[in-house]
Amino acid sequence: MAFKDKIADVAKRLEMVRSRTDLGEEATKTSIVLPFLSALGYDVFNPNEVHPEFIADVGVKKGEKVDYAVFLEDKVEIIVEAKPFTTSLQDAQYSQLYRYFGVTEARIALLTNGAEFWFFTDIDAPNKMDERPFFKFTLGAYDDGDLRELEKFAKTQFSIDQVRSTAASLKYTRLATQYLSEQMADPEDEFVRLVGKSFYDGNLTAKVVERLKPNVKRAFDDLIRSRVRSRLEVALGNDEPEVEETESESEASGDGIVTTEEELQAFYIIRAIAAEIVDPSRIAIRDQKSYCSVLFDDNRLKPIARLFFDGRTKYVEVFGNEKSKERINIDQIYDVYKFKDKIISIVGSYCNDN
């Protein structure tokens, strides 16, 4: 069976247990974590390869156990800590995993609740687990790129040097993205000077830099808008996005509802994100007086997000499973990209309902 199919089988298991609110840690391990490790090619029935309740004394703490230690050639390569399915990894305490990382040979630590798998290493300081994961894999919402990264942890392909090289690359990409996001929102003088040198012939004085700042911000907006629209054109086969028809219909109806340019931009971004896992034509916009809805299959019972852009504070409500909503304030339209994972997750859940 191909690696992609093995992971898909584990994802099906996840769907079977999503409705269970009583799924504790042991049940999470049995129903999801062990099948996941097996899909990576490890023999979960061989304690010399996947050692459950692995003990490694830490200082004065004796007899503590990490849930699993994965061995390759008699060497611990990965340690795994599992949390109950209902646990949010964002809020989870994993000090035990942190301690074990420092006293074992393992250079990869895996934290999971059965739905999400967070991979850590020690890029920031040797033998000290980084505070942030370098790779996150969401079992219910992944794409081919995620699968390619995940396969690097498979038994037949595992190379600690390759994994650490990938971890460093992902870390620097994340930092670069963070820096560029900050410059998009409020470009620093030095950044404006750097960009300005490419098109401004005069002396870049403080007054000139201040005058050019709005142009740099607008250039970011135009670039993102252009790339999103290009991506949609490719995904749709150069068909006109149906949102433009919606806008015309709203204006013609005389109901006072007008889909603004900002709402369109946010819709384009959400549609482009969803295009990673579904035909983008299934993502629709439906404007109303108080907010603008982005829907799956143009079905009001399958909401993805609501855009509240008419007030002084712009914010987006992103829907989750069981129709829960999370409000996220945004400063710029491209902040929508920051909750890409949430959009992928809810769209993926609607796909699985079909």
Element (H, E) at 316: strand 315-319
Same domain, 48 and 142: yes
Kindly state whether residues 127 and 61 are assigned to the same domain.
yes
Which pair of structure tokens corresponds to residue 149?
């990264």
What percentage of the chain has pLDDT greater than the value 70? Answer: 85
The number of folded domains in the chain is 3
pLDDT, one tens digit per residue, over 163-187 is: 888 888 877 887 887 788 788 888 8
211-230: per-residue pLDDT in tens? 898 888 888 877 776 666 66
pLDDT at residue 47, as a whole number = 92
134 and 194 part of one domain: no
Range of the domain at 324: 241-354
Instruction: Tell me which of 3-12, 44-53, 280-289 is least confident.
Output: 280-289
pLDDT of res. 42: 95
* Together in a domain, 123 and 223: no
Do 26 and 156 lie in a common domain? yes
pLDDT band at 250 (very low <50, low <70, confident <90, very high): very low
Query: Does residue 53 register a pLDDT over 60?
Result: yes
Q: Rounded to 5 degrees, what angle do the CA atoms 218, 231, 294 make?
A: 80
Measured CA to CA in angstroms, residue 237 lies from 46, 233, 241, 278, 347 at distances of 50, 6, 10, 14, 21
CA 61, 66, 72, 73 torsion-angle sign: positive
| Claim to verify: residue 32 and residue 160 sit in the same structural domain | yes
Q: Indicate the pTM of the whole model.
A: 0.56
CA-CA distance, 116 to 132, in Å (whole number)?
14
Higher per-residue pLDDT: 242 or 279 = 279
Is residue 326 located within the same domain as residue 352?
yes
In a domain, 20, yes or no: yes
The pLDDT of residue 268? 85
Mean pLDDT of 22-35: 83
164, 196: one domain: no
Is 219 part of any domain?
yes
Scan for tokens 């996840």, then name that residue. 14
Is residue 312 in some structural domain?
A: yes
Residue at 125 is within a domain:
yes
Please check the confidence at residue 149 and state whether its pLDDT lies above 60.
Answer: yes
Do 122 and 36 fall within a single domain?
yes
Same domain membership, residue 260 and residue 235: no
Helix axes 242-253, 261-274, angle to 10 degrees: 150
Per-residue pLDDT reduced to its tens digit, 333-352: 878 888 888 899 899 888 87
